[in-house]
Amino acid sequence: MEAVVVLVAEKFLMAQAIARALMPGQGRRETAAFFGSIDGEPAAIAWADGHLLELADLDVYHPAWAEWRLADLPLSPPGFNFQLTPRDSAPLNQLCRVLEKASRVVNACDAAREGELIFDEIARWSGLYRRQVPLARMWIDDTTPAGLRSAWAGLADHQDRRLLRLRQQARVRAESDFLWGVNLTRYATLALRGQLDLKTRFISIGRVRSPVLALIADRCREVYGHEPEPFYQGHLTFVNEQGEPCLAKLLAPPEHKFGERDTDWARREVLDERINFIHLNRGQPWEVVEGEMAEKREYPPPLFDLTDLQRTANRLLRWPARHTSRVAQALYARYGAISYPRTDCHRLPESMEAPVLDRWREFWRGWVPPRFPDALEHLPKVEPARGINFAEKVTDHYAIIPTGLAPPPAAAPDGGMTDEYALWELIVQRFITAFLPAAKVLASSRAFVLAYQPGEQLRALVKRAPILTQGWLAYEFHTSTTRGIERPLDQRLQDEVLPVMGPLASLDRVQIKRGHTYPPEFFTYDLLLDKMNRLRLGTASTRAEVIADLIDLGYLGENSSRALVVTEEGEKIVTLLRTHGGETLLDPKLTAFWEHQLDAVGRGAGRGLPREQLLADLIEQIKEQGLRLCAPGEVDEVVFCPKTGLRVEAVEGGWRFPGWHAILCKEMILGRKMKASEYRDIFLAGKEGGGPYENFISKRTGASFRAWLRFEPKAQDFKFVFKTRRR
């Protein structure tokens, strides 16, 4: 074979799409590649099949490591030089034969961190680096023929700083997850396997999997063990001079409030005292205090990122997250119908504004009328909103939008539309909705006040936000929703503006209503993905696989409502870890710390640790966690600074973090003994604060209290933050 430029795609379908775009009418397919010419230069478009290589098993480094022994742990390859082994040698050998004659190689794998890793593994295995073959990157966000030609015209250097960072992050993420999983799975299995009668031969530990398992186990326990608690509300109806009613709810003072809402009372007898007083003073008018009244905009939901798409498809289509990912990938790679789906971004680059708005107009005029003919009379003529969905800088991938191509609308075997077409329609609907005008509401509030005991007033509050301008809500109501949450428009239109009141109001009616608490919802994919996102558990592109892995391991299942529940095996493992020194392995805060460290790899300028240092720190953490499983309570805590990645220094009276070296993190705060890991969590949490932490002792009253702690950079000190308990 003559010397050629070789493009390496991640999958066959993508290689085929590239061949059609760059070799129109002349590319020929052979066993391992499409051959032809691109811009007059001999070329081959080959493909991998995802990861053709994986990190080698531990016994590749030392045969003795095949046997599980506590004395050998923790294990790590010498010098952190990880070896690769083929997952399937046949396609890898075919690809390597194509690469042997390459004069230049272009990475056309998926435009993401994982695509960089897949190509890097192939380049290392096939000797491209050793042979110093010129390398380039074809960054593909749009798989339409025009998008592929544009990506080809804009090749980037393989050594581009941004690409280097992505490769380093992808590589160290794979290596760290490997080290965490293989070592702590062995520690947990060897130390704890005999404590309970488990069905599986080993206790599988994952950096992200284990905290997710604990979240679901805890939620199931809350649901199963919930006992309804009563609470009470005072409903007061006032009338103006015209006899128009206005219903308000009596506010509970902080010491008598139940849960989060100011209108919920914890004790009936306390509320009865106030209601009896109100009855005795029935003829006395209440003072009317008008609150803010202002027009506010209610913007449409943003363009989809992957997590939002998975959550919405679970709410509306009841799909598991992994199924949504696979269907979205087919829309991207097979049909070229959407932009790259494995994104965590809701915005588009400002440079795309003009073509995207033109595409929106094409859908508005050409797709909406035949799809929703009955809605046309309700839809005004509009122009797409500019600016709101665009940003000067976006992440490596912009939001998920339709490209203008569509999958075949063929019916599924049961007579319904195919999954590909159903998801494509959902993405099109969100694309249209996101550019529509904002709705406008009139946000208003009013308080009714009556003097009670000395130093206390009775206050009743009413809030309303009637719709003034329907905007995008009208389109959603007359076509279809892309949210599956919130009240529909016809119900919201029944909300009325507060009736006009003078400075005083007469009380017309008083009612006491009893309510009770409900158990929290089981985690659906929707709710769990939201929780994982907020806790920084995993990434947008990995969360679905984490959940699927837990199901495959037999630790999770789905109940009759298709919510996620812990199995008996999963519950046993969570209990075993919590009672035998492994509680930190289930803590999302530790995972969030390592997510922060992994994201910082390759940033340079002192903002992130070198790969080797991060892996060395990780081994220290693994060793500490492993020894805790073997001897709970007898191991010093190993903590690293979230700003520098360096180890925290124990000093007299507390600790010093290298990133905040001037600050003494005190071991004792108001009678409570703090941990270095809790200070790490506080620094990581930023404005939200770490916690909540129990058992602080008030100097004034001697009572114990619960609070969050937040680091204040200006004051260079820690501040208590008090938040209401969630019901």
Contact 441, 468 (CB under 8 A): yes
Query: Which DSSP helix (H) or strand (E) runs through 515?
Result: strand 504-516
**Residues across the chain:** 727
451 with 416, same domain: the answer is no
Residue 554 lies in a domain: no
β-pairing, 457-464 vs 439-451, is antiparallel
Would you give the DSSP letter of residue 60?
G
For 288, phi then psi, to 5°, come to -100, 120
Kindly state the average pLDDT of the residues 472-486: 90
Q: What is the mean pLDDT of residues 197-222?
A: 92
Question: What is the full DSSP assignment across 424-472?
Answer: HHHHHHHHHHHTSPPEEEEEEEEEEEEE-STT-EEEEEEEE--EEE-TH
Residue in this structure with the two tokens 């990645």, named with its chain if needed: 645
Q: What's the pLDDT band for 27 if we cut at 50, 70, 90?
A: confident
* 242-261 mean pLDDT: 92
Residues 412 and 484 in one domain: no
CA dist 113 and 542 (Å) reads 12
State residue 688's pLDDT score: 85
What is residue 690's three-state secondary structure?
strand
Per-residue pLDDT band for 278 (boundaries 50, 70, 90) equals very high
Token digits of residue 474: 């009208």
- Using CA atoms, how far residue 560 sits from 422, 494, 520, 522, 639, in Å, is 24, 35, 17, 12, 42
pLDDT at 412: 64
What pLDDT shows up at residue 710?
A: 93
Paired strand residues for 34: 29, 45
Asked if residue 124 and residue 8 are part of one domain, the reply reads yes
Residue 486 placed within a domain: yes
- Residue 5's H or E segment, with its range, is strand 4-9
Say if strands 41-47 and 4-9 run parallel, antiparallel, or are unpaired.
Answer: parallel
- Mean pLDDT over 128-139 rounds to 95
Among residues 368, 399, 434, the one where a domain terminates is 434
- What is the model's pLDDT at position 409? 82
The answer to whether 108 and 116 are in contact (CB under 8 A) is: no
- What is the CATH number for 483? 2.70.20.10
Do 378 and 464 share a domain, yes or no? no
Nearest to 230 by CA among 514, 599, 556: 514
Task: Give, to the nearest 10 degrees, the angle between helix 568-579 and helix 161-192.
Answer: 90
Asked if 260 and 533 count as a contact pair (C-beta separation under 8 A), the reply is no
> Which residues on adjacent β-strands are paired with residue 132?
none
**588, part of any domain:** no
Q: Which of 50-59, 118-127, 406-415 has the lowest mean pLDDT?
A: 406-415
Q: Answer whether residue 127 is part of any domain.
A: yes
Q: What's CA 364's distance to the chain center, in Å?
A: 31
Per the DSSP assignment, residues forming a β-bridge with 512 are 234
Query: Global pTM?
Result: 0.89
Question: Does residue 404 lie within any of the structural domains?
Answer: yes
Q: How far apart are CA 598 and CA 595, in angstroms?
A: 5
How crowded is residue 141: how many other Cβ atoms within 10 Å of its Cβ? 18
> What is the average per-residue pLDDT within 510-515?
96
- Judge whether 348 and 303 are in contact, CB under 8 Å: yes
CA dihedral (261, 726, 292, 689) positive or negative: positive
C-alpha span between 594 and 604 (Å, rounded): 18
Please give the pLDDT value at position 605: 45
- pLDDT-derived band at 700 (thresholds 50, 70, 90) equals confident
Confidence at 609, pLDDT banded by 50, 70, 90: confident
CATH of the domain at 426: 1.10.290.10
Residues 462 and 392 in one domain: no
Which of the listed residues 516, 543, 568 is the one where a domain comes to its end?
516
Collect all residues with Cβ–Cβ distance below 8 Å to 239 and sequence separation of at least 6: 245, 246, 505, 506, 508
DSSP run (H or E) holding 237: strand 230-239
Q: What is the Rg, in whole angstroms, of the alpha carbon atoms belonging to the chain?
A: 30
Residue 121 in domain: yes
Residue 689: CB atoms within 10 A of its CB come to 21
Identify whether 219 is part of a domain: no
Residue 291 and residue 234 share a domain: yes
Residue 461 has pLDDT above 90, yes or no: yes
- Once rounded to an integer, what is the mean pLDDT over residues 215-238? 96
> Does 709 map to a domain?
yes
DSSP class of 39: T
- Please name the residue that has the structure tokens 């703090």: 674
Residue 82 one-letter amino acid: F
Task: Report CA dihedral (140, 332, 393, 350) to the nearest 10 degrees.
Answer: 100
User: Is the separation of the CB atoms in 258 and 517 below 8 Å?
Assistant: no
CB atoms within 10 A of CB 615: 20
Q: Can you point out the beta strands (E) in 547-689?
A: 556-558, 564-566, 649-651, 654-656, 665-666, 668-669, 672-673
Find the domain containing 428 and state its range.
306-434
Backbone angles phi, psi at 175, to 5 degrees: -65, -40
539: pLDDT strictly greater than 50: yes
Angstrom distance (rounded) from CA 451 to CA 284: 10
End-to-end alpha-carbon separation of the chain, Å?
70
Do 424 and 446 fall into the same domain? no
Average pLDDT over residues 287-312: 95
pLDDT at 1: 53
d(CA 599, CA 172): 10
In degrees and rounded to multiples of 5, residue 476 shows phi and psi of -60, -40
Interstrand relation of 556-558 and 286-298 (parallel, antiparallel or unpaired): unpaired
**Cα separation, 317 vs 531, whole angstroms:** 20
Residues 336, 424, single domain; the answer is yes
Q: In terms of domains, do 344 and 470 share one?
A: no
Tell me what pLDDT residue 726 has.
43
Question: Rounded to whole angstroms, how far apart are CA atoms 164 and 158?
Answer: 8
- pLDDT band at residue 725 using 50, 70 and 90 as cut-offs: very low
Task: Spell 26-50 as b/e; 16+ CB within 10 A means b.
Answer: ebeeeebbbbbebeeebbbbbbbee
Q: How confident is the model at residue 43 (pLDDT cuts 50, 70, 90)?
A: very high
**pLDDT tens readout for residues 341-394:** 999 999 999 888 999 999 999 999 999 999 999 888 888 788 898 888 999 877
Domain count, the chain: 4
Structure tokens at 563: 């919510």
- pLDDT above 70: residue 607: no
Average pLDDT, the chain: 91
Lowest mean pLDDT among 142-151, 309-318, 505-514: 142-151
Tokens linked to 581:
């020194």
Specify whether 681 is located in the same domain as 703.
Answer: yes
Give the CATH number, domain containing residue 106: 3.40.50.140
Whole-number Å distance between alpha carbons of 712 and 727: 29
Taking a C-beta distance cutoff of 8 angstroms, is the pair 626, 634 a contact? Answer: no
Peptide bond into 692 cis (omega under 30): yes
Is the pLDDT reported for residue 474 higher than 60? Answer: yes
Q: What is the pLDDT of residue 472?
A: 93
> Could you report the per-residue pLDDT of 626-670, keeping only the tens digit for each?
999 998 766 778 899 988 888 999 999 999 999 998 899 999 999
- Domain edge (last residue) among 516, 533, 566: 516
Judgement on whether residues 315 and 294 belong to the same structural domain of the protein = no
- The answer on pLDDT for 608 being more than 90 is no
* Look-up of token digits 């947990």: 188
Q: Which residues pair with 29 in a beta bridge?
A: 34
Confidence bin at 26 (pLDDT 50/70/90)? confident
Question: Do residues 331 and 280 share a domain?
Answer: no
